[in-house]
Chain A
Amino acid sequence: GAVVSQHPSWVICKSGTSVKIECRSLDFQATTMFWYRQFPKQSLMLMATSNEGSKATYEQGVEKDKFLINHASLTLSTLTVTSAHPEDSSFYICSGGSGREQYFGPGTRLTVT
């Protein structure tokens, strides 16, 4: 299957600071990438759909000014959590589509102290 990487794999930041998470498709081009959030022992919750060269589409209830998404190229999408708070602590996972399949990154564990 296709490979998606994320960086960093885990990050700890202080409340009020911003954190950027990178998602790269390593061996395919992804016109569309998706960002998910997952709380412990729960399913994946779609946050936004990111299309290369255009603005992201956010799911209802997701603050677009807090979770900034940029899809600069066919292989890179970034998620920036601005002014992070402890309630933003979660596991963030991106995915990229190749044909009908979606391939997920390994996830980024964000802890806000």
Chain B
Amino acid sequence: QQQVKQSPQSLIVQKGGISIINCAYENTAFDYFPWYQQFPGKGPALLIAIRPDVSEKKEGRFTISFNKSAKQFSLHIMDSQPGDSATYFCAASRGSSGGTPLVFGKGTRLSVIA
């Protein structure tokens, strides 16, 4: 049972465009939703995260939109750059501390072309 479904599997965006990656979750107990960026041969790096009490969070060019009723959240990368080319993972967890494991989506391979 896949608890976090991520789409698309791969994405090609023109430089300067907007990259949009979507995730849907099933477990309503999830209350923390981070996005990670991973470059080949490296560990995932935390990009941005959101809690269900807000509908949107923005950090620089990265924005998370959260729809609690639809159990969906998405990552928007504005003004996409070739350096943003990486694999992006959404994740979810529940609980009040860092002692709860993350459930990951399957990842989206983003390619930003000039």
Contacts and interface: CB of A to CB of B under 8 A. Distances in A.
Given A44-B89, A44-B104, A100 B43 contact: no
Nearest to B2: A43
Interface of A: 1, 4, 6, 30-32, 34, 41-44, 46, 49, 51, 91, 93, 95-107, 109
Contacts of A32: 97-99
Interface of B: 32, 34, 36, 41-46, 49, 89, 93, 96-102, 104-107, 109
Q: Is the interface of B mostly helix, strand, loop or mixed?
A: loop
Closest 4 CB pairs of A and B: A97-B98, A104-B43, A32-B99, A107-B43
B41 A107 contact: yes
Contacts of B98: 30-32, 96-102
Contact of B44 (A100, A104, A109): A104
Contacts of A6: 43
A97 to B, nearest CB: 2
A102 B107 contact: no
A93 B43 contact: yes
Given A1-B46, A32-B99, A44-B104, 7 more contacts: A6-B43, A42-B107, A43-B104, A44-B89, A93-B44, A99-B97, A103-B46
Most buried by B among A42, A95, A109: A95
A100 B104 contact: no
A34 B74 CA distance: 25
A30 B97 CA distance: 11
A43 B105 contact: yes
30 contacts: A32-B97, A34-B102, A41-B109, A42-B107, A43-B89, A43-B104, A46-B102, A51-B99, A93-B43, A93-B44, A96-B98, A97-B97, A97-B98, A97-B99, A99-B97, A100-B93, A100-B96, A100-B98, A101-B34, A101-B46, A101-B49, A102-B34, A102-B93, A102-B98, A103-B46, A104-B44, A104-B45, A105-B43, A106-B43, A107-B43
A98 B97 CA distance: 8
B106 A100 contact: no
